[in-house]
């Protein structure tokens, strides 16, 4: 087992929890504009410059990314003005996501019972938690996708196979809701809730500090 990183690793962990992008393999059926919005949603400040968005979305050339952002600004989905980018601490043209409910959250609210687990929130929480585990034990070069991260953490015996399968369950459910317009109803909620509780019970036993830190960064209670 690889040992935990030092103080420098702790700084990287905080940065990762604050600014981690959403996985790039979970984009089936999405347009490039959707991907831009999704990446901005994953950043705690919901804003970053064109250069950082190019790195996160891999949309190239840069002029294509800038054009997409201008179109999204014209549609009222984001605003563009110069400022300090929270990801690179440099002053450039910033893209700031407009204040509006996420697509998946709106869809869930229409059909799911009051105690529904927010599948988008659960997916983002697990994404950041897995990346935090990776930084703690394996260093800063994290996988670009949540699916890859979960599988690698399982293979490294940092996440047990059963809990890894539950993470994949939530990841897959979220993708079906967001990208395939599947209704997140009572049965889907029951599956997601059971998977979440299995993950949470293990995380609170084995990685309590990281689980709590992820809760703080995601702005929700880990329960």
Q: Which CATH number fits domain 7-19+104-218: 3.40.50, 1.20.120, 2.20.28, 3.30.200?
A: 1.20.120
Q: CB-side exposure of 134: number of CA atoms within 13 Å?
A: 24
| d(C-alpha 222, C-alpha 211), whole Å | 7
| d(C-alpha 47, C-alpha 71), whole Å | 16
| d(C-alpha 49, C-alpha 128), whole Å | 21
Whether 136 has a pLDDT exceeding 80, the answer reads yes
User: Which range, 37-41, 49-53, 56-60, is most confident?
Assistant: 49-53
pTM as predicted: 0.56
pLDDT in tens, 179-213: 777 888 889 989 999 999 999 999 999 999 889 88
- Kindly state the greatest CA–CA separation across the chain: 50
Non-local CB neighbours of 155 within 8 Å, separated by 6+ positions = none
pLDDT in tens, 88-111: 778 889 999 887 544 444 444 333
Output DSSP code: residue 72: H
Q: What are the residue ranges spanned by the domains of the chain?
A: 7-19+104-218, 32-100
pLDDT in tens, 5-31: 445 445 544 554 454 434 444 544 567
**Phi and psi, residue 102, nearest 5°:** -65, 150
32-100 adopts what CATH topology?
Arc Repressor Mutant, subunit A (1.10.10)
**Tokens, residue 7:** 């103080």
Cα dihedral across residues 168, 98, 91, 86: positive or negative? negative
| d(C-alpha 214, C-alpha 146), whole Å | 15
């Amino acid at each position: 087992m690889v040992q935990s990183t030092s103080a420098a690793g702790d700084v990287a962990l905080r940065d990762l929890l604050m600014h981690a992008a959403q996985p790039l393999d979970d984009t089936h059926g999405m347009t490039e504009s959707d991907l831009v919005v999704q990446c901005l949603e994953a950043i705690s400040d919901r804003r970053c410059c064109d250069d950082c968005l190019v790195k996160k979305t891999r949309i190239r050339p840069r002029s294509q990314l800038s054009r997409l952002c201008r179109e999204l600004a014209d549609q009222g989905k984001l605003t563009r003005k110069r400022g300090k980018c929270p990801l690179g601490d440099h002053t450039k043209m910033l893209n700031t996501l407009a204040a509006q409910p996420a697509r998946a959250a709106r869809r869930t609210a229409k059909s799911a019972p009051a105690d529904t687990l927010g599948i988008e929130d659960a997916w983002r929480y697990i994404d950041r938690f897995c990346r935090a585990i990776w930084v703690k034990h394996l260093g800063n070069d994290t996988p670009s996708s949540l699916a890859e991260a979960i599988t690698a953490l399982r293979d490294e015996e940092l996440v047990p196979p059963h809990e890894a399968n539950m993470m994949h369950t939530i990841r897959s459910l979220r993708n079906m809701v967001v990208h395939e317009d599947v209704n997140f109803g009572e049965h889907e909620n029951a599956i997601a809730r059971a998977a979440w509780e299995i993950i949470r019970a293990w995380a609170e036993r084995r990685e309590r500090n990281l689980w709590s830190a992820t809760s703080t960064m995601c702005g929700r209670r880990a329960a």
